[in-house]
Structure 1
Amino acid sequence: MESSGGSLFRNQGFVRLWVGQAISFLGDAISMVALVVLAAGLGGRASAVGGILVARLLPTLAGPFVGVLADRLDRKAILVGSDLARAALTLGIIFTRDIFTLYVLVFLIGLAKTFFNPTIRAAFPSVVAGGNLTRANSIISSTFSTSISVGPALGGFLVATAGLDVAFALDAVSFLISAIFLALVPFSRPEHAEDSGFFEEFRSGVGYLLLSRVPLAVVVGASLIVFTTDLVTPAEIFLARHFGAGTEGYGVLMSLYGVGMVAGSALMATVAERVRLLPVYLVALLGYAVALCGAGLSPLFTLALAAITLAGISNGVDNVTCDTILQTSVPENFLGRVFSVRFLGFGIGEAVAYPLGGLLTDATGPSHTYLIAGIATALALTFTIAMLRFAPSKRG
């Protein structure tokens, strides 16, 4: 493994992880379009598409228990196994002929993802030299942001020209490629007491997080931010229509948000270890709040687009700093459990925000929804700062 001052791109472990994840990110973004189209076709109603969201999110409820396994077992085995399972399940979607079977497969794919996400975050510091961790997270975040910017358009094109089966087959292949690359990455095995039981380690993980001021504030704050910022997701297309921009304007809005995310991640890659992460994280959350309020108050669509771009930049910076703060402040043998709680909070935040955001948009209109979300984000930031200042702590 390279020293902390070495180039990330001379670190073969990181390069393999990055390439595998890049291909998998793109495959996921492509297949998500196909999944929505298939659900709508099999179910015949919008609620069928909503059921896909529920099926994907339900497995995150098991996240804290999965996190114990991420801190006990061979992380490479978990990651490779999760990718192979997702490849097989995604191929299974090709042969699905009813909506119930589709829900079951999506649930199982979500379960495999629940194993994968906290484990890859927990394993990351062992692959990347410590001094390059911020830059490494920036590269991964930029790659993810790029995939969700171009992937849906590519997915729509593939579905229209080659059909649903091709999109799902490509996603399955992307998981296989990711599994191959991850199998070649050297991961350290986390240390844990050999005589400790599963539930004892679960309790110790919860106890660690509750008494660790910075990790607790970041995990709780990040979950609140997911909830407040995702309130605007149902309002996005209606904001474009509010300004008379229509579907094309919605496409521009989403593209600029994606460009902002890439730019925010790239910015963190540039400054890397030259900045203090916690203040930058808090400034990013403030930028997010200002951007959402600005979009809600904008009298012109061009100004709203500028605010949306700022929101994307803030989200890009937020993603990088949040991950890196946790990876650098939490001992390696607790990382799986801490990240699993973080992803649980994300899942709950999304599950509540989407329907509530839809109700807000129906009741108040898209502009007011953005303004409410901005104010709520500012309150979440205030709560995060209060936790950092006043929460009891025996660690960090």
Structure 2
Amino acid sequence: MGTNSWKKEWKNPSLLLAGIGISNLGDWIYLIALNLMILNMYDSAAAVAGLYLLKPAASILTSFWSGSFIDRFDKRRIMIGLDVIRAVFVAIIPFFSSLGLIYLFVFLINMASSFFHPTATTYITKLVPEERRKRFNSLHNLMSSGAFVIGPAIAGALVFVGSPGLAIFMNAISFLLSGLILSLLPGTDDDVIRGDRLSFNMIKEDWSAVIAFSRKAVYIMAVYTLFEIVMVFTAALDSTEVVFTRRVLGLSESSYGVLVSIAGVGFIAGSICVTLFVSIIPLRHLIGTGGFMTATGYLIYSLSNSFIGGSIGVFVLSFALACANTGFITFYQNNLPIEIMGRIVSTVSVFQSIFQIVLIVAIGLVVEIISVQFAVITGSFLMLTVAIVLIWLTAIPAKSKYFRDSSIVTHVH
């Protein structure tokens, strides 16, 4: 059955949302439980911090070739296979006592995750008609925000009644359940090119195709790149979160937990807002204004010296981030050619991960040499500068065709 015919027949996004949502929930349970397991085993903050460098490092190693694979093979089968691989590797981790072995398997799991996400995005683009993508993405974002709040709570409960290892085993089960749900969805066999084998020449040609598209679609890639830079700043600044809340805001562990919960509530509130008003909020406003308000929230947070100020900042940035993510994903689904989408997303991920590592190290050095508040304020101002350029770029009237919004047109008529 061809792609277009099964796309028209497939009407219910619930299974796809459930599969990806369970996978996201498992990611959060695993992250919290793994942090606690490492801390309990080695009593080392540095050992825990090392986990956060493994993800961008794995992305660099995977992303430069994964797009070539994603664009040529059945995406549903790829996602199912990656869920099974992650389930097996996650289930093995609690049996290790060596930090090196734990790091190795976490690295491999992160490689699979960096492979999974562009595959899922490309699959969603093929499966969901353009006029329904913004609503689907808003629901997807809502599920992700729910996982952000519920995941740590489930992890905490599992650790309380058992151990971090129990929470990690539950994460492995969640990956298997996700794979089972994805197996019920339609495949994309029309993607499969018989006889194709991944090779260096193929990867080289694919990178050339991405570069050629980028030169032809300068505006699309400019919006894409600027938004991703804003997201890299958010990830880099998050690496200072615990130190900032302790040294600058003076929060206890329990108060820090409340601050994280407020961020989760902000994300859920933003996701609900977008879901309810998705048919009337223009795409360019979700991206431009959402990105600008995310940076503004970080600035409020960085200039705060109290729990109240920090709470306002994290709520604003989380609320805005939920809006911005929905707009951005819909933007690139509508504007990137589906036949090379996996390659474009993966190629950008390589540079994004390199920049993220550099930025995390740079911010860490500023924290040690000067102060954590100076580092966070400086990072927030730089993020705001990029966000201002982004909101200007998205507001150019002549570029309105790139923000076509079938959901609004459908709603009106």
CA pair 80-101 structure 1, distance change in 2 beyond 3 A: same
Residue aligning to 2:202: 198
Return the offset for 1:236: 2.8
Question: Within 1, Cα distance between the matches of 2:161 and 2:136?
Answer: 36
| 1:107-256 pair list within 5 angstroms | 107-189=107-189, 198-199=202-203, 200-241=205-246, 242-256=248-262
Residue aligning to 1:76: 76
Alpha carbons 2:37, 2:165 under 8 Å: kept: no
Question: Which one-letter code corresponds to 2:116 in the other structure?
Answer: F
Residue aligning to 2:349: 343
Question: Within 1, Cα distance between the matches of 2:189 and 2:102?
Answer: 35
Return the offset for 1:76: 1.2
Question: Within 2, Cα distance between the matches of 1:246 and 1:19?
Answer: 36
Alpha carbons 2:39, 2:48 under 8 Å: kept: yes
| 1:217-296 pair list within 5 angstroms | 217-241=222-246, 242-296=248-302
Question: Within 2, Cα distance between the matches of 1:254 and 1:380?
Answer: 25
Choose the corresponding residue for 1:357, options 349, 355, 363.
363
Secondary structure, counterpart of 1:11 in structure 2 = coil
Greater Cα offset, 45-54 or 333-342: 45-54
Question: Which one-letter code corresponds to 1:148 in the other structure?
Answer: F
CA pair 165-57 structure 1, distance change in 2 beyond 3 A: same
CA pair 193-380 structure 1, distance change in 2 beyond 3 A: farther
Residue aligning to 2:405: none
Alpha carbons 1:68, 1:337 under 8 Å: kept: yes
Greater Cα offset, 355-364 or 146-155: 355-364
Return the offset for 1:277: 1.2
Alpha carbons 1:134, 1:268 under 8 Å: kept: no
Residue aligning to 2:406: none
Q: Identity of aligned pairs, percent? A: 24
Question: Within 2, Cα distance between the matches of 1:275 and 1:190?
Answer: 35
Alpha carbons 2:291, 2:391 under 8 Å: kept: no
Return the offset for 1:275: 3.1
Alpha carbons 1:240, 1:253 under 8 Å: kept: no
Alpha carbons 2:73, 2:192 under 8 Å: kept: no
CA pair 369-149 structure 1, distance change in 2 beyond 3 A: farther
Return the offset for 1:136: 0.8
Return the offset for 1:180: 0.9
CA pair 119-215 structure 1, distance change in 2 beyond 3 A: farther
Question: Within 1, Cα distance between the matches of 2:272 and 2:211?
Answer: 34
Where structure 2 has 5 or more consecutive residues not aligned to the other structure, the ranges are: 2-9, 403-413
Per-residue displacement from partner, 1:42-62 (whole Å, max 9, x unpaired)?
A: 445322223322333322113
TM-score by length of 1: 0.87
| 1:3-82 pair list within 5 angstroms | 11-12=11-12, 14-61=13-60, 62-82=62-82
Alpha carbons 1:138, 1:269 under 8 Å: kept: yes
Where structure 1 has 5 or more consecutive residues not aligned to the other structure, the ranges are: 2-9
CA pair 210-246 structure 1, distance change in 2 beyond 3 A: farther
Question: Within 2, Cα distance between the matches of 1:100 and 1:240?
Answer: 30
Greater Cα offset, 168-177 or 343-352: 343-352
Question: Within 2, Cα distance between the matches of 1:96 and 1:195?
Answer: 40
Return the offset for 1:27: 1.7
CA pair 154-195 structure 1, distance change in 2 beyond 3 A: closer
Alpha carbons 1:213, 1:387 under 8 Å: kept: no
Return the offset for 1:193: 8.3
Aligned pair count? 384
Alpha carbons 1:223, 1:349 under 8 Å: kept: no
Secondary structure, counterpart of 1:274 in structure 2 = coil
Return the offset for 1:118: 0.5
Greater Cα offset, 104-113 or 34-43: 34-43
Return the offset for 1:246: 2.2
CA pair 187-349 structure 1, distance change in 2 beyond 3 A: farther
Alpha carbons 1:230, 1:353 under 8 Å: kept: no
Question: Within 2, Cα distance between the matches of 1:193 and 1:213?
Answer: 30
CA pair 215-337 structure 1, distance change in 2 beyond 3 A: farther
Return the offset for 1:104: 1.4
